């Protein structure tokens, strides 16, 4: 692996495009493209900026020499935090819907809010405490899945309160305007799918 390969690999691990990297180090997108295709080599000052931004040594960028790992500073994989956060969010949505279905009490939302808050807190801690190289993929995975969970309860609440004044955590098919119920699902699916596609585009570095 040479310098151009290492720049491209580090950029993709960060989950950013060539244009975003260019902005970070103060060059044009074409310059980054030439670096990654071996058409040119970054100046030494740009090598230093790249090493600072990617949190690697200049020796690693130029020669591929890995620094000796410090066992005392080993950090967890960010994807572990994403899995735990997703599980908490899923439990929150499931328990809230179940309690409402059985009891039909507004307090069901409190249960869901607690779990969703815990899930987001775990994810937030993970983005601070996990290993830097694992953060971009962990962030991508979190939003790809959890956007469906985090949006569902508040969107359902707004829909039901406007339609029937019932604080239900899932959309209730009620009488009246026939388009209301399918419109809810259209907005929900289209909005969440748009976020997922946006995350996929960022992952591809476009």
Give the model's pLDDT for residue 151: 94
pLDDT at position 206 = 47
Low-confidence ranges of the chain (pLDDT < 50): 71-72, 206
| pLDDT per residue as tens digits for the range 147-188 | 999 999 999 999 988 888 888 999 988 655 567 889 999 999
Neighbours of 115 (CB within 10 A): 20
Rounded CA separation 27/49 (Å): 11
How high is the pLDDT of residue 80?
94
Residue-level pLDDT at 31: 92
Is residue 160 within 8 A of residue 167, CB to CB? The reply is yes
Q: What pTM was estimated for this model as a whole? A: 0.63
The 3-state secondary structure of 131-148, one letter per residue: CHHHHHHHHHHHHHHHHH
Nearest to 192 by CA among 153, 146, 158, 157: 146
Cα–Cα distance measured from residue 96 to residue 110, given in angstroms and rounded to the nearest whole number: 8
């Amino acid at each position: 692996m040479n310098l151009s390969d290492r720049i491209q690999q580090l950029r993709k691990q960060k989950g950013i495009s060539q244009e975003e990297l260019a902005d970070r180090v103060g060059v044009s997108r074409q310059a980054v493209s030439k670096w990654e295709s071996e058409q040119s080599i970054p100046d030494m000052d740009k090598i230093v900026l790249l090493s600072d931004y990617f949190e690697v040594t200049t020796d690693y960028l130029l020669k591929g020499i890995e620094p000796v790992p410090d066992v005392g500073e080993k950090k967890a994989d960010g994807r572990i935090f994403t899995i735990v956060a997703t599980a908490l969010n899923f439990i929150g949505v499931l328990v809230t819907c179940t309690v409402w279905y059985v009891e039909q009490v507004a307090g069901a939302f409190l249960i869901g809010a607690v779990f969703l808050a815990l899930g987001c807190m775990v994810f937030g801690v993970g983005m601070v405490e996990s290993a830097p190289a694992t953060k971009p993929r962990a962030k991508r995975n979190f939003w790809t899945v959890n956007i469906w969970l985090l949006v569902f309860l508040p969107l359902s609440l707004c829909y039901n309160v406007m339609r029937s004044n019932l604080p239900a955590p899932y959309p209730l098919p009620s009488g009246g305007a026939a388009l209301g119920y399918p419109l809810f699902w259209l907005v929900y699916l289209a909005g969440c799918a748009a976020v997922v596609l946006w995350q996929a585009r960022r992952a591809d570095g476009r």
